[in-house]
Structure 1
C-alpha cells in the first residue's frame, strides 16, 4: 500500500529526476524499444521519490511501456480524485501480476 502525497517527487526537478541525476544504476542511456522507466514506489507517494531512492528504497527499471503507461494513467486518475477532495483516503493499493498491474483505492468500487 502506498500513500499519495503531492509534495513528494518534485524537489529534484520533477518526475524524471532519475533521468537527470548522474550515477544512477538504472534507466540510463537510450530508452530500449517498447520500454519505459518504472519508478516504484510511485512518484508522488510518501514511499517514493529521490530521497528514498538514495536510501535504496526505490526501484528503477525498464518495463513494458504500455503496461507502465496504463498504470500511470490509473494512478493519475486516483491522484486527481484525491486532490479534488472527491476521495478522502490517500492510501493506494498496487496489485501486480504477470498479466497486467493495476491500482485502486481500498474500499472503493
Structure 2
C-alpha cells in the first residue's frame, strides 16, 4: 500500500526532514528537548489504516512520554510468508468476523 506523505508538522514529517535514512533514536533520561516534549500528530499505521482518511490515522502524542526510543524506517514493505501453512480442518473463529 502506498502511504501519503506525512502531514506537515507531524512527528513523521519532522523525522523525514531531519534524518537521511533508517535511524535508531534512544531518548535517555533528559527528555526536555522541544521535539520530545511537544504534542504533535503521530501516524498510526497498523491493522486498520485508510490512506483516504489520512488525518484520521494520526494520534496526538508527546514522543518523550510515549516511547523510550524509536526506530525510524522511511521506507518499508509488507511482510510476506515464507511458506503456506496447511488448511485447517475447522475455521479459526477468533480471526473470522462471525459475531461471536
Same fold (TM over 0.5): no
| TM-score, length-scaled by structure 2 | 0.32
Higher relative strand content = 1
Q: TM-score, normalised to structure 1's length?
A: 0.30
Greater fraction helix = 1
